[in-house]
Amino acid sequence: MTNTLLILPGDGIGPEVMAEVHRIIDWYGTKRDLKFEVTEDLVGGAAYDAHGKPLSDATMAKAQEVDAVLLGAVGGPKYDTLDFSLKPERGLLRLRKEMDLFANLRPAQCFDALADFSSLKRDVVSGLDIMIVRELTSGIYFGEPRGIIEEGGQRVGLNTQRYTEAEIDRVARSAFELARKRGNKVCSMEKANVMESGILWREVVQKVHDESYPDVELSHMYADAGGMQLCRWPKQFDVILTDNLFGDLLSDVAAMLTGSLGMLPSASLGAPMENGRPKAMYEPVHGSAPDIAGQGKANPIACILSFAMALRYSFDEGAEATRLEKAVEKVLGDGVRTADLMGAEGGTPVSTAQMGDAILAALDASL
């Protein structure tokens, strides 16, 4: 089966970190005979500059046809004054919505070599390996009505939190299936104490568990308490299941437990296509970091690990995904550091491309 990839580098540091992923892809083609048919296009501010919109219809069509989309980052201060409908982030949201990528997987793994970079104590985060499953295509970011309206002589900002049973059901099943392959525990987080959508969320998750996944340990927690527990003792969790808004917040909390946003990948998965593979988009959790763009300071690891997730979830190459993850772990263990990872204990400072060199050398050594 031909492996097809659409690469959307985006804005800011996106093209720099994606260049290192291109090198990794080439390595797999040359050294592991794992071939990818790769096309590249524009998204975000780069697409607005070229087409006057953050995602062209032609690019959207390509995204629907490939096995996986790999995205860098979008946004930057030059686009801050654009109309809301034209902002770079709208291109990202359109991809998620029209591809129906309802399950967002955000791992938070703390490599031992970086445990001291966390703001928490080493014993709290060392060995941390949790997965947040965030519902991605509904909830308050997409609910109607929304907007800024006039009411009583003043402006009112309006957003609607909305979930159907079916939307909760399908993302819950994704979390339970994933938990079966990990630690077999799911903690579902919502605000059932103050939100009707939270009550429905809890009821549907419990029903899915009882009817289809009774072997998986299920617990429920209010999302605010979940944020506190993530900072208190994160290793109590395995898979965290939550909605779009709370998932956005909680995954960023979990991200900083690991020490750097530059380390964290993500996967957004949808329903299976005709070839049996899920529609999928992979992207680093970090933003476009326009302040360091073009300076060779960006950490490419999150983008590289996003490709590792693509190997595992889209291309059924779990062993090769592990090979790449172990190569990253080896490089970090050797003290190789981009600027965001330079701490008091020092290390070998490297550029974006030099970090790519080191990971490629570790891959070579793995053969």
Binding residues for substrate: 96, 106, 134, 224
Q: How many CB atoms lie within 10 A of CB 15?
A: 18
Q: Which residues are annotated as a binding site for Mg(2+)?
A: 224, 248, 252
Chain centre distance of CA 40: 20
Q: Is 169 annotated in the active site?
A: no
CB 127 within 8 A of CB 236: no
Tokens (6 digits) for 79 = 């686009």
Q: Which of 11, 41, 48, 191 is catalytic?
A: 191
Q: Is 213 annotated in the active site?
A: no
Q: Which residues are annotated as a binding site?
A: 76-89, 96, 106, 134, 224, 248, 252, 287-299
| Distant-in-sequence, close-in-space partners of 60: CB < 8 Å, separation ≥ 6 | 94, 95, 98
Q: Is 48 annotated in the active site?
A: no
Q: Which of 53, 100, 141, 169 is catalytic?
A: 141
Q: Is 224 annotated in the active site?
A: yes
Using CA atoms, how far apart are residues 151 and 81, in angstroms rounded to an integer? 25
State the distance between the two ends of the chain, measured CA to CA, in whole angstroms.
24
Q: Which of 112, 116, 169, 252 is catalytic?
A: 252
Q: Which of 67, 243, 248, 340 is catalytic?
A: 248
Helix (H) or strand (E) holding 158: strand 154-158
Q: Which residues are annotated as a binding site for NAD(+)?
A: 76-89, 287-299
Using CA atoms, how far apart are residues 267 and 287, in angstroms rounded to an integer? 15
Of 61, 9, 16, the residue nearest 40 (C-alpha)? 9
| Distant-in-sequence, close-in-space partners of 291: CB < 8 Å, separation ≥ 6 | none
Q: Which of 100, 116, 129, 224 is catalytic?
A: 224
Q: Is 141 annotated in the active site?
A: yes
H-helix segments, the chain: 14-31, 45-51, 57-65, 88-98, 122-125, 165-180, 196-212, 223-232, 244-257, 301-313, 318-333, 352-366
Helix (H) or strand (E) holding 240: strand 239-242
Q: How many CB atoms lie within 10 A of CB 50?
A: 11
Phi, psi of 251 (to 5 degrees): -70, -30
Active site positions, annotated: 141, 191, 224, 248, 252
